Structure 1
Amino acid sequence: MSSSVCILWQVEFLSSTTGRRVTRCKWNSHYLLHGKLLRNKSYTFKDAAHTPCRSYVVASVVRRQAKKRDTVIPDPDYRIPVVLLGLAGGLAYQDNLLLAAPVGLLGLLLLFQTTRVRFVFDEEALEVKIGDQLQESGENVFVGGKNRWKYSTFVNWELWWPNFPILVYFKEMQTKPEGQVHFFPVIFNGKQIYEVMLERAGPSKTSGPKQS
């Protein structure tokens, strides 16, 4: 958030040469960004009669509209479906078809979902959309309602597990007052998800990539 803080102030004193009372007015303009001073401009007027000075301090704060945050769409990540398909292949090679079949089907499902499902982080909410054209995903098949949740309603969120994220979890109060939990497989870039969630939904206590 950037802002401009302008202060108009007046000082009166006796002139050493004429012995008359002299008024000086000064206009300070401070340009701030996130509370840090960027630059400071001062203007001094010799004659109070030609300025809007008064015998009191006038302060005004003009806040400029904050620059809108960009929409972030994390890149697809195929690691989980590839691992599952590789595991299914290994099980099939060992003639363990009973276990290979469900693992392989899950891998194929996640592979398909990775090519079409998108997490879209816009200015105010996380939304699930479909395809590169970002089509609407419709209502949530499990809890109902649109697959769009405002960051302001998030109670908590986690990324499991940091080194190789498999699931992203979050709880929000938008769907129902007592809170609704959501789990999604991490078929997107886990680092990108963590960074944008941290920025827009606040910090998470235990999740996120560990610092090396």
Structure 2
Amino acid sequence: MESALLSASRFTTALHKREVVDGPVAVRKLQSSFYGKEINSHALFTRNFKKINLTVTSVMRKKLIKKETVVPDPDYRIPIVLLGLSGGLFYVENLPAAVPIGLLGLLLLFQTTRVRFVFDDEALEVKVGEQLEESGENVFVGGKNRWKYSSFVNWELWWPNFPILVYFKEKQTKPEGQIHFFPVIFNGKQLYDAMVERCGPSKTSGPK
């Protein structure tokens, strides 16, 4: 009987010691596991926040960075060719052809000295003079001589090696689309590069 009570007492003491020793360890393990999840969750939140912050910063930076304004240089080749052709026709006494061609050459010569295509951050605008003043209303179709790139449907430059006409169609003037033709009295390569960059590539033309 005494032996049985002694054994029971030892078992109880051992169980109590195990609870005392293992208890805090178990609590520490639980706390360690809990805090580990908390730390991981915090790290995940921090990473996601950084990604969002970087994305927002990138978008804002793109909006703040504006494209440089491009103004192609004047090119006098077309008016000079027309005036030369007119002089040749005068020489052979073909006045009916020489007069209109000569007048057209003089008009384009005058326009070359004053008209400029201005490619700013959002639109193509026709301006006049060295101070790039506004050209006013379009005398043919009305409205301001300024068209946003987003309204362009298509455009072409004829002909690539010696560009004579630039054509484009836009939906800003009217919803069904408005066609414009301009003589290329500007540097053809600069004009083409600006049109490609701001309005998208042309499929069939471009200086070589």
| TM-score bracket for the superposition, by shorter chain length | 0.7 to 0.9
Aligned position for 1:140: 138
SS in structure 2 opposite 1:127? strand
Q: CA deviation at 1:57?
A: 5.4
Q: CA deviation at 1:65?
A: 1.6
Q: Corresponding residue for 1:53?
A: 43
Could you say which residue in structure 1 is the equivalent of 2:164?
166
Q: TM-score normalized by structure 2?
A: 0.75
Q: What do residues 19-76 of structure 1 show as CA deviations (whole Å, max 9, x unaligned)?
A: 97796xxxxxxxxxxxxxxxxxxxxxxxx59x95257852322324222100000000
Task: Tell me which amino acid in the other structure corresponds to 2:61.
Answer: Q
The TM-score with structure 1 as length reference comes to 0.74
Pick aligned residue for 2:155 from 132, 146, 157 = 157
Q: Is 2:116 the counterpart of 1:123?
A: no
**Which letter does structure 2 place at the counterpart of 1:189?**
N
Could you list the per-position Cα deviations for residues 84-128 of structure 1 after superposition, in whole angstroms to 9, with x for gaps in the alignment?
A: 000001111111111111110000000000000000000000000
Q: Which has the larger radius of gyration?
A: 2
Q: Which residue of 1 aligns with 2:200?
A: 202
Q: Which runs of 5+ in 2 are unaligned?
A: 1-28
2:93 is aligned, of 81, 95, 102, to 95
> What CA RMSD, in Å, does the superposition of the two structures yield over aligned residues?
2.4
* Deviation at residue 207 of structure 1 after TM alignment: 1.1
> For 2:111, which of 107, 113, 120 is the aligned residue?
113
Distance 1:154 1:170 in 2: 7
* Superposed displacement of residue 168, structure 1: 0.2
Matching residue of 2:61: 65
Structure with greater strand percent: 1
Identity percentage over the alignment? 72
Quick check: 173-182 or 200-209, which moved more?
200-209
Distance in 1 of aligned mates of 2:115 and 2:130: 9
Structure-1 residue corresponding to 2:20: none
Number of matched pairs: 169
